[in-house]
A and B are shown apart, each in its own frame.
Chain A
Amino acid sequence: EPEVTQTPSHQVTQMGQEVILRCVPISNHLYFYWYRQILGQKVEFLVSFYNNEISEKSEIFDDQFSVERPDGSNFTLKIRSTKLEDSAMYFCASSATGNFYEQYFGPGTRLTVT
């Protein structure tokens, strides 16, 4: 069964450093998403991406965040200058259509900022 994959599973970085979280969505999917979950809190929407551009973003997704689909398979989330409060689990998701039918989630990348 096709699945969304994410690498790395755990990333430790120092405050102020740039990190790139990688996701490989399901191959025939067209819509891509990033969510984050701070430890013990709810899952929060960050951004959705379609047709090589951001279609929607939350207030969390400020200028330090960016997303990119550098090739036909990867979908990345970049945090330019990490802060302690960026420590969270980051989930990538993809869907075949944009009607939030069946958003398939990856296993997540745990980001720890020290």
Chain B
Amino acid sequence: AQSVTQPDIHITVSEGASLELRCNYSYGATPYLFWYVQSPGQGLQLLLKYFSGDTLVQGIKGFEAEFKRSQSSFNLRKPSVHWSDAAEYFCAVGTVDNDMRFGAGTRLTVKP
């Protein structure tokens, strides 16, 4: 069955530091992978997505993610975190049944 694991429940980084959020997926075929961000009290905003082609995908707000088939991973990165990046981040995989399976989320705290 398709599933997504986000190993880190909560991460704290200092403003200006680099960030990497981990995501591992389980899926039999080529996955459709997404990263969403959810600010407190807000809905889900798509940061980036991977369907095929270049394994390094660029998203909004300076985020990027790299698809590594050998590691079944799709980690999200940002070279320099801003205080406004504090939010919950969800990795998701699109399934053959046309729904999305979300990971449990990683809460990002940014220290001044």
Instruction: Indicate whether A75 reaches chain B with its CB closer than 8 angstroms.
Output: no
Interface contact A107-B98, CB-CB below 8 Å = no
Interface contact B99-A33, CB-CB below 8 Å = yes
| Majority secondary structure of chain B interface residues (helix, strand, loop or mixed) | strand
Counting chain A residues whose Cβ lies within 8 A of the other chain, the interface size class is: 20 to 34
With A102-B46, A105-B43, A107-B42: A42-B97 Cβ-Cβ less than 8 Å: no
B104: A residues at CB distance < 8 A: 41-42
Instruction: Indicate whether B35 reaches chain A with its CB closer than 8 angstroms.
Output: no
* Docked CA distance A74–B90 (Å): 27
Instruction: Indicate whether A106 reaches chain B with its CB closer than 8 angstroms.
Output: yes
- Chain B interfacial residues counted at CB < 8 A: 22
* Docked CA distance A49–B65 (Å): 30
Instruction: Indicate whether B32 reaches chain A with its CB closer than 8 angstroms.
Output: yes
Interface contact B99-A106, CB-CB below 8 Å = no
With A105-B43, A106-B43: A42-B98 Cβ-Cβ less than 8 Å: no
Interface residues of A in 84-102 (CB under 8 A from B): 91, 98-102
Q: Shortest distance in angstroms between A107's beta carbon and chain B's nearest beta carbon?
A: 4
Q: Give the residue name and chain of the A residue nearest to B104 (CB).
A: A42
Interface residues of A in 26-55 (CB under 8 A from B): 31, 33, 35, 41-45, 48, 55
* Docked CA distance A104–B34 (Å): 12
With A100-B32, A100-B94: A43-B99 Cβ-Cβ less than 8 Å: no
Please encode chain B, from 91 to 107, with 1 for each CB lying within 8 Å of some chain A CB and 0 for all others: 01011011111111100
* Docked CA distance A31–B94 (Å): 14
B99: A residues at CB distance < 8 A: 33, 45, 48, 56, 58, 100
Q: Shortest distance in angstroms between A95's beta carbon and chain B's nearest beta carbon?
A: 9
A99: B residues at CB distance < 8 A: 32, 94, 98
Binding site for A on B (CB under 8 A): 32, 36, 42-46, 49, 51, 90, 92, 94-95, 97-105
Beyond known contacts A31-B98, A45-B100, A108-B43: 8 more, CB 8 A cutoff? A42-B104, A45-B99, A58-B99, A91-B43, A100-B98, A102-B46, A103-B46, A103-B100
